[in-house]
Structure 1
Amino acid sequence: MYYAFPILGLKMSAEVCGIIGLIFLGGAYMAEGFTGGFNGVTKSQINSGKALGMNRLQLARYVVFPQGLALSVPALAANIIFLIKETSIFSVIAIPELTNTAMDLIGMYYRSNEYLFMLVVAYAIILIPLILILNWLEKRVRYGAFGN
C-alpha cells in the first residue's frame, strides 16, 4: 500500500499505511477465527433450539452466539498476539519499531547481546500480561462464567 498508492495518486503517511495494513491483516484473521467458532456450533444445538420454538433471532442470541464466541476465543487470542508481533513489518516502510530500533542501536554501539536481551524483555513486558489476560478470558468463557 505504501508503495502502490502513490502510483494511483493517493499519498498517505507511513503510519497510516501501516495501520491500514494491520487492520486488513487482522480483520482477515479475526474473521476466520469467528467463522471457525460459529461453524463449531453443531446442527443438533440449532435443531434443539428450533424444537423449543425459538425464532432465528432467539437462536442466534441464545444458542449460536454464546457457543460460537466461546469457541472463537482461543483463535482470537492467538491472532491478537500474532498481530502484535507483526508490527515488525512496519520497519519495511520506515516506521521505527522495537526490533528495528534494537538493530539500529546494535549498529551504533556494537553491543548486540545487551540490546537483544532488552528487545526480548520489551516483548515479554508487552506480551506476558496480554497472554495472562487472554488466558483468564478464555477460562471464563470456557466454563460459562463470563456473565458472573
Structure 2
Amino acid sequence: MNLNWEFIISNIPLYQKAAWLTLKLAAGGIVVSLILGLLCSAILYYRVRGIEKLVRVYIEVSRNTPLLIQLFFLYYGFTKFGLTMSENTCAILGISFLGGSYMAEAFRGGIESVSKIQIESGLSIGLTKIQLFRYIILPQAFSVTIPAVGANCIFLLKETSIVGAIAIPDLMNLTQDLIGMYYQTVESLFMLVTAYLMMILPLSLCLNWLERKVRYAEFGN
C-alpha cells in the first residue's frame, strides 16, 4: 500500500491544530470530572441525606446514556430553556458529565478499601469527618484508585472523537472533512490514528509509571 506522503505532509499543520484543541477539551473535561467524581464519592461514602439519591441518579443516567446524546441535549436541548453555550464549553461539560460518574465509582472503590480500624482510630483521636477524609482516607485510597482513574482519563481522551458531532474542528471532524474534500481516506485515517497514538501512548506510559511508584511506596519496595 502506497501512501500519498505529499498529502500527509501538507496537512500536518491542520492535524497539529486539531490535536491541540482535542487535548484542551480532554484536559478540561478530565479536571472537572475528577473534582466532580471526588465530590460525588464523598457524598456517597458519608450518605449525605437529600443529596445521596440525586448523586446515584446522576451516576446511573450518566453511565447509561451515550456521550453523543448528552452532547446533543446540552447543545440543542438547553436552548429551549434560553440557555446557550459555545461548542467548546458544551464539549467540556459533556465530557465532565460522563467522566464524573466513572471517576466517582473509581474513587468510591478506593475509599471503601480503607480499613475500618484506621477510620475508628482517626475518630478516636478527635479528627472531624473532613479531617479524617483528607488525612487518612484519601491518601490511602489514592494508590488504589490510580489504575481506574488512569483508565478513565484515557477513555475520556478517546471519547473526544464524538465532539465533532457539534461542529467542533477536532481530529475526527478534520478527518471527515479531508476525506469528503479530497477522497484521501487511507492517508487521512493514518494521520488520525497517528495523532491519537501520539496523545494517548505517552499518557498511558506516564500513568503506568505513576502506578508503579505509588505501589512501591505503599509496600515499601
Shorter-chain TM-score above 0.5 = yes
Counterpart of 2:127 (choices 37, 44, 56) is: 56
Kept in 1, the 8 Å contact 2:167–2:173? The answer is no
Aligned twin of 1:34: 107
Letter paired with 2:202: P
1:91 correspondence with 2:164: yes
What amino acid is aligned across from residue 158 of structure 2 in structure 1? Answer: K
Distance 2:97 2:173 in 1: 23
CA distance in 1, matches of 2:101, 2:142: 17
Corresponding position of 1:125: 198
Hey, what's the Cα distance between the residues in 2 that align with 1:44 and 1:99? 50
TM-score, with structure 1 as normaliser: 0.84
Give the aligned partner of residue 141 of structure 2. 68
Percent pairwise identity? 52
Equivalence for 2:66: none
State the alpha-carbon separation in 1 of the partners of residues 83 and 187 from structure 2. 41
Instruction: Output the amino acid matched with 2:137.
Output: V
Q: Gapped runs of 5+ residues in structure 1?
A: none
Offset at residue 54 of structure 1 (A):
3.7
**Alpha-carbon distance between aligned partners in 2 of 1:50 and 1:125, rounded to the nearest angstrom:** 45
1:70 is displaced (CA, Å) by 0.7
Look up the match of 1:18: 91
Query: Tell me, what secondary structure is at the counterpart of 2:76?
Result: coil
Distance 2:210 2:144 in 1: 12
What one-letter code is carried by the residue in structure 2 that aligns with 1:93? I
Deviation of 1:25 (Å) = 1.7
Long gaps (5+) in structure 2 = 1-73
CA distance in 1, matches of 2:122, 2:86: 52
* 1:36-87: CA deviation from partner (whole Å, max 9, x where unpaired): 111122324435x359x54435654554222211111111101111111111
CA distance in 2, matches of 1:75, 1:95: 28
Post-superposition shift, 1:17? 1.2
Who is 2:178 aligned against?
A: 105
Q: How many residues align?
A: 143
Distance between the aligned counterparts of 2:85 and 2:134, measured in 1?
41
Secondary structure of the 1:107 match is helix
Q: How many Å separate the matches in 2 of 1:94 and 1:134?
A: 31
CA offsets per residue over residues 95-144 of structure 1, 9 Å max, x none?
12112211211121112111111111100100111111111111111121
